Amino acid sequence: MADGPLHDASIFMAASVCGVASGLFGIGGGVLLVPFLALFFAFGQHRAQGTSLIALIPPTGLLAFLAYAKAGYVSWKTGLLLIPGVFVGGIVGGRLAKRLPPRRMRQVFAGLMFVLGVWQAAAAWWR
């Protein structure tokens, strides 16, 4: 899809779906936006992941967090304990990502999404 009004509208619609999913389920970037950008907009895996980070973390993450906090659905102790691990893990993961070829990166991402999806489905029905 070439740049232009239809392309921009399509990006906006994909982002809207991801924003709703982020606010509703706590997902969006890795689970939806990265595949949308890779499959529908021909982004390479690295570019899709990097683009999703800038789009989701500051605006959506903060707004969804505020809504959940206001409703009392935030475990502050656990959340604060997660921050250092996510911070260090993000740095390490970013460095590792630069070493992976795009095809391998996409394979690892797809495999991770598949395994987590099967695990989540099993837990939702049989736990």
With a threshold of 0.85, does the pTM exceed it? Answer: no
Average pLDDT over residues 98-114: 91
Instruction: State residue 73's pLDDT score.
Output: 92
What's the chain's length in residues?
127
Nearest to 22, CA basis, from 60, 51, 57, 50: 60
Instruction: State residue 1's pLDDT score.
Output: 57
7-26 CB burial, b ≥16 within 10 A, e <16: eeeebeebbeebbebbbeee
List of residues 6+ apart from 63 with CB closer than 8 A = 23
Residue 82 has pLDDT above 90, yes or no: no
The DSSP letter of residue 71 is: T
Q: How many domains does the chain have?
A: 1
Residue 107 has pLDDT above 90, yes or no: yes
- Across 1-65, where does the E strand assignment appear? none
Domain that holds residue 11: 5-126
| Both structure tokens of 126 | 């049989």
Residue 62 has pLDDT above 80, yes or no: yes
| Cβ(74)–Cβ(65) below 8 Å | yes
Q: How far apart are CA 44 and CA 46, in angstroms?
A: 6
